[in-house]
Amino acid sequence: MIEDGSDVLDRASLAVGRRQFMKIGLVGAFSLLVPFAVRAAERAPYKREDYTWGFIVDTTKCMGCGSCVRACKAENSVPDGYHRTWVERYTVLANGRVEVDSPRGALDGFPEDPAHPKKDVAKSFFVPKLCNQCATAPCVQVCPVGASYAAPDGVTLVDRKRCIGCGYCVQACPYGVRFIHPQNGYADKCTLCYHRITKGLPTACSQACPVGARSAGNLKDATSRIRALLNSSRYGVLKPALGTNPKCYYIGLDKEVV
């Protein structure tokens, strides 16, 4: 039988249609599999030996809004009157005197300072404070029951079940970042949101910061943001003479900061 041109064209169109359908189907199936692959990668086991956590604060960016303090309080159920992180305002007067204040830890930000007219102020800036994650931590050294300890990834933690609330670690910390929980009786402090960073999430405070003034990072990763900042910025640590070897680094740290 001799086929006319229309039959040939119909079969050719059908073949092209089938190939196009299969192509669309494969693309669709791939697009469905990608999210599963991403989630599988996100669920990869956290290997603590691959990390050494540090924290970086850019004092040239901090504007004292208190968003970090509020986020920390909400994330970690910090009791009223206590802080895992807070912000201090440094006011350097024209006569050289330095005044430091932190109303409610900057939970509500900072009001205008009516005590000092602008003409009397040489400069003013904000400095967030938190656990310094010391490599040689006095709090760990003095704990009589081993409740304060350094995890293999460099984060200083507290075993709440073991802690007896003696307060030795609170007294030993030279940065004043620890407190005894008023209801539960154990030592408490910033943990760099350990429950978040070990899942690949940012700390609550850094996520809330509107100007990107603070963040945690892996010091072992040469490509990490914290390494890039440390390699390209002037930074310092608090109380370096104490030999605690803190892993909380401050960009633009002024000499007046204590």
The tokens describing 38, both together, are 């991403």
C-alpha distances (whole Å) from 236 to each of 66, 104, 233 are 22, 26, 10
Q: In what side-by-side order are the strands of the sheet with 98-101?
A: 98-101, 86-93, 121-129
pLDDT at 118 (0 to 100)? 78
pLDDT tens digits for 4-19?
444 444 444 444 454 5
What is the rounded average pLDDT of the residues 81-85? Answer: 98
pLDDT at 170 over 90: yes
Nearest-CA neighbor of 254 among 105, 104, 126?
A: 126
In angstroms, the CA 145 to CA 80 distance is 28
Taking residue 258's Cβ as centre, other Cβ atoms within 10 Å add up to 10
**Cβ(59)–Cβ(125) below 8 Å:** yes
Best CATH choice for the domain 48-135+189-251 from the list 3.20.20.70, 1.10.1740.10, 3.30.70.20, 3.40.640.10? 3.30.70.20
pLDDT tens digits for 116-153?
777 799 999 999 999 999 999 999 999 999 999 999 99
pLDDT tens digits for 187-227?
999 999 999 999 999 999 999 999 999 999 999 999 999 99
The single-letter DSSP state of residue 79 is: P
Instruction: State pTM to two decimals.
Output: 0.82
